[in-house]
Structure 1
Amino acid sequence: MRKRKAKLIHKFPMVIQLFKEVPEGKIDQTLIHFNIDDGSKYTGVALVQEGETKNKPLFKGTIEHRTDVKEKMDVRRGYRQYKRSHKKYRPARFSNRSSSKRKGRIAPSIKQKKEATLRVVNQLKKWIRVDSIHLENVLIDIRKLEKGSQPYRFEYQQSNRLDENLRKATLMRDTFTCQDCGKRDGRLEAHHIIPRRVKGSDSIHNLITLCPSCHEQVTGEEMTHVERFLRKIDGKVIYFQDAMHVMQGKTYLQEELQKLAPVTLTSGGDTANRRIDWCIEKSHSNDAIVLSQLKVSPEQCQLKDWLIKPMRRRSKKKVEDVQGFHHRDFVRYTKRNGETYEGYITALYPQKKQCNLTTTEGKVLKRYGVNRMKVLWRFTHIYFFENKRKREVNPGFNQCEI
């Protein structure tokens, strides 16, 4: 850049554009796969380059979705109803919200999450070529929950391997709680109530969640606990609230992604099986890396993990700037003891030259002076932070089985 051979396009993440022209015959022909691990609160994204000899992850990140839309709409609804109830001169009207009753409508709380994902895809597509898109369609493949499903490649060699679809569904049904001692922390295992050595089925109706200590106690004495365990799971229903929430609006997301590149669908259970096979740590962004079925090593996944935060398009700012600092600027604040915070400005107070900050860890700092701040990057609708937050993982979902 100092030699005028490239220019800075974006600082976080660092993106530069080379001025050198590449002959048509020397253009890189390797495929770039954009992988999306769609979720209710977080969505993992990754760019993986498919090479002739090995595959290479280029980028990974986690989109943090807004969860306050429904609450804000409820407040707005209350204001609207209060206002209308005081207009006594106007006759009452019913069913006049035609826009909310039209066919094919997606709830705003769900649609804004899909649009946030599309905004990130379009932004990254401006910086790098995307040849195909891989989207995680469902958390669990229901067809593989019952006996008779097609076995995975490793099941021909490892007869004691439990399929990840079944295991996840069992833990979700039992609310991630050991059904013997009530333990919720640490690793949880799916136990066959009727052992497979006596022809017990690989079915969710024959599985129960146990912690490792309880599982060890019943090993070898399974038949003495059959009736007790079957009574515990009798009549239980599997609740897939998050999975159902993710599935709403999925058709809209698929149709919009199809306009950008060919889309391939997969399931969350298949993703988890590959991640465990390749011994890769559980995270939203790592799940996105393994979506495209391109074999990668755990070392290749140790690249910087970005926390991506698409912001509202319309800002409610009342103050334009304070000493050159603008609303939503990404800044670094240095305290007198040398401690630093990085975050974005959420409010400005010109009278006392102060502001409110939200740090990359999610901490809110109020009334901090702008004299000790430095602008790192001007806001461009999407924040890319280095992910320093503690990841949220369901108990028992982060093990590596060999």
Structure 2
Amino acid sequence: MTYCFVLDAQGSKLSPTKENRAWYLIRKQKAILKNKFPMVIQLKKEIPVAEIDSTPVHLGIDDGSKFVGIAVVQECKRKNKPLFKGTIELRTDVKDKMTVRRGYRRYRRYQKKYRPARFNNRSSSKKEGRLAPSIRQKKDSILRVINQLNKWIRIHHVSLEDVLIDIRALEKGHKPYKWEYHQSNRLDENIRKAAVLRDHNCCQDCGITNTRMEVHHIIPRRLNGSDSINNLITLCSTCHGHVTGDELHHSGRLLKKVKGRNISYNDAMHVMQGKSYLQNELKKIAPLSLTSGGDTANKRIDWEIDKSHANDGIVICNLKVKPDQCELKNWTIKTMRKRSSKKIESANGFHHRDFVKYTKRNGETYLAYITAIYPKKNQCNMTTIDGKILKRYGLSRLSLIWRFSKTYWL
């Protein structure tokens, strides 16, 4: 089942209706199509304020680092009716792109030898309460989708699952005592020196002590290894040379020597660091209430709802009664970069990022969006909804479904 958002002639937000009913109103020329994915229509008449349905509408958000579940539920007099649910796929390539940009910037500065050195000249690095761009863009992506939904349907209340992750417990592998949280997990402010002190200035592979020691990342940084003492080991130069370039082959053996754990805390830290900013911005949209992951799991089990990000969004909504029907279309929402990497604007009426359908000669079809256009060959590259990359497919077999506008609703 799929619902359609409805606006009146003045842009007032009305209660959604089923898509079949919306297409009927369009055929009868009583409404016009404003947006196709998701479907939004605008009536050609104005509805008096007294006749507009004022039943409360709840928005539930299941926050995460890579996927975020959202759901809109209308609290009717007799039942709770889910109207929309979807999963936001967040970008995870921002840090890598910033690393490349930093390399370009440093290269340009190295060429300007006549310019005196400058320090702390970037305002973003001195701003108090600043969020890293890799985290900020994730929260802004969530807010962008919610603000768009708020233009199509009234939102009276927002419920957010408050993420509480104990990073120290993940690092230790058990719940620490209260006094252990006040103790540093390092032996020195210099993390290299701390690793050498922990290992008593002894190579942990061959046992030699009368040589200069080197500190080795067991899981290398290029493979998202953490820069913590649990991922460091002291080795002599000979042993260090043996494991360099083949770190994963030796990682299990070296982790046992230092009692380390191969765990990445990036996802947990991204959610924890940006949650205050997200909560403050959501309060500007509608009253906000927080819930816990335990309450969400208990409700989902009691209501016998399948586990998914979008279904968790339905459960998180501040409801006391089980929703009437949870079998809705699960939208996949992708927020794209504002700056496009396109080199060709359009070809044969198709634009970069258009959502299209490709039909093969055997009748098989692909739903995808265009990522590159080659006008000389009359071809294009596409990425399907499932993430499959299609290269050099002919434009003649394409049919336009919808023109891209800031966000993909698939």
User: Do these two structures clear the TM 0.5 threshold for a shared fold by scoring above it?
Assistant: yes
- Offset at residue 296 of structure 1 (A): 5.6
**Aligned partners of 2:82 and 2:324 also within 8 Å:** no
- Offset at residue 25 of structure 1 (A): 3.1
Equivalence for 1:319:
344
- Offset at residue 372 of structure 1 (A): 0.4
Q: Give the Cα separation in 1 of the matches to 2:261 and 2:394.
A: 56
Equivalence for 2:163:
138
Equivalence for 1:4:
29
Counterpart among 47, 52, 61 of residue 36 in structure 1: 61
Equivalence for 1:102:
127
Report the residue type matching 1:100 in the other structure: S
SS at match of 1:53: coil
Give runs of aligned pairs for residues 16-55 of structure 1, distance below 5 A: 16-55=41-80
**Aligned partners of 2:369 and 2:382 also within 8 Å:** yes
Report the residue type matching 2:380 in the other structure: C
**Aligned partners of 2:94 and 2:133 also within 8 Å:** yes
Worse-superposed segment, 291-300 or 269-278: 291-300
SS at match of 2:314: helix
- Offset at residue 86 of structure 1 (A): 2.3
* 1:135-170 deviation per Cα after TM superposition (whole angstroms, max 9, x unaligned): 112156x7xxxxxxxxxxxxxxxxxxxxxxxxxx99
Worse-superposed segment, 74-83 or 371-380: 74-83
- Offset at residue 22 of structure 1 (A): 3.1
Report the residue type matching 1:383 in the other structure: Y
Report the residue type matching 2:319 in the other structure: L
Equivalence for 1:265:
290
**Aligned partners of 2:80 and 2:324 also within 8 Å:** no
Q: Give the Cα separation in 2 of the matches to 1:128 and 1:111.
A: 26
* 1:162-198 deviation per Cα after TM superposition (whole angstroms, max 9, x unaligned): xxxxxxx99x958xxxxxxxxxxxxxxxxxxxxxxxx
Give runs of aligned pairs for residues 146-165 of structure 1, distance below 5 A: none
Q: Give the Cα separation in 2 of the matches to 1:116 and 1:43.
A: 10
Does residue 344 of structure 1 match 2:369? yes
**Aligned partners of 1:173 and 1:238 also within 8 Å:** no
- Offset at residue 101 of structure 1 (A): 2.7
Equivalence for 1:62:
87
Does residue 306 of structure 1 match 2:306? no
Give runs of aligned pairs for residues 232-243 of structure 1, distance below 5 A: 241-243=266-268
Give runs of aligned pairs for residues 93-132 of structure 1, distance below 5 A: 93-132=118-157
Q: Give the Cα separation in 1 of the matches to 2:401 and 2:323.
A: 32
Larger Rg: 2
**Aligned partners of 1:173 and 1:239 also within 8 Å:** no
Equivalence for 1:382:
407
**Aligned partners of 1:290 and 1:296 also within 8 Å:** no
Unpaired segments of 5 or more residues in structure 2?
Answer: 1-25, 175-258
1:119 to 1:318, Cα distance in 2 relative to 1, 3 A = same
Report the residue type matching 2:50 in the other structure: G
Q: Give the Cα separation in 1 of the matches to 2:123 and 2:142.
A: 27
**Aligned partners of 1:135 and 1:291 also within 8 Å:** yes
**Aligned partners of 2:31 and 2:43 also within 8 Å:** yes
Q: Give the Cα separation in 1 of the matches to 2:127 and 2:341.
A: 30
Q: Give the Cα separation in 2 of the matches to 1:272 and 1:247.
A: 20
**Aligned partners of 1:62 and 1:307 also within 8 Å:** yes
Alignment length, in residue pairs? 298
Equivalence for 1:155:
none
Cα RMSD of the aligned pairs, angstroms, is 2.4
Worse-superposed segment, 236-245 or 330-339: 236-245
- Offset at residue 361 of structure 1 (A): 0.4
Q: Give the Cα separation in 1 of the matches to 2:315 and 2:367.
A: 31
**Aligned partners of 1:37 and 1:287 also within 8 Å:** yes
Worse-superposed segment, 238-247 or 34-43: 238-247
Q: Give the Cα separation in 2 of the matches to 1:18 and 1:84.
A: 57
* 1:266-303 deviation per Cα after TM superposition (whole angstroms, max 9, x unaligned): 12222112111211111000000011241565871111
* 1:68-120 deviation per Cα after TM superposition (whole angstroms, max 9, x unaligned): 00011011111111221222222222332332231111100010011111110
Does residue 90 of structure 1 match 2:115? yes
Report the residue type matching 2:104 in the other structure: Y
Does residue 248 of structure 1 match 2:301? no
1:296 to 1:327, Cα distance in 2 relative to 1, 3 A = farther
Unpaired segments of 5 or more residues in structure 1?
Answer: 143-168, 175-233, 386-402
Q: Give the Cα separation in 1 of the matches to 2:30 and 2:406.
A: 28
Q: Give the Cα separation in 2 of the matches to 1:238 and 1:273.
A: 27
Report percent identity of matched pairs.
65
SS at match of 2:162: strand
Does residue 13 of structure 1 match 2:35? no
Equivalence for 2:355:
330
Worse-superposed segment, 270-279 or 65-74: 270-279
User: TM-score scaled to structure 2, two decimals?
Assistant: 0.68
Q: Give the Cα separation in 1 of the matches to 2:262 and 2:104.
A: 38
Q: Give the Cα separation in 2 of the matches to 1:268 and 1:295.
A: 17
Does residue 358 of structure 1 match 2:383? yes
Worse-superposed segment, 68-77 or 6-15: 6-15
Q: Give the Cα separation in 2 of the matches to 1:235 and 1:267.
A: 30
Report the residue type matching 2:295 in the other structure: D
Q: Give the Cα separation in 1 of the matches to 2:407 and 2:282.
A: 19
Q: Give the Cα separation in 1 of the matches to 2:323 and 2:288.
A: 26
- Offset at residue 257 of structure 1 (A): 1.4
Q: Give the Cα separation in 2 of the matches to 1:354 and 1:237.
A: 44
SS at match of 1:300: coil
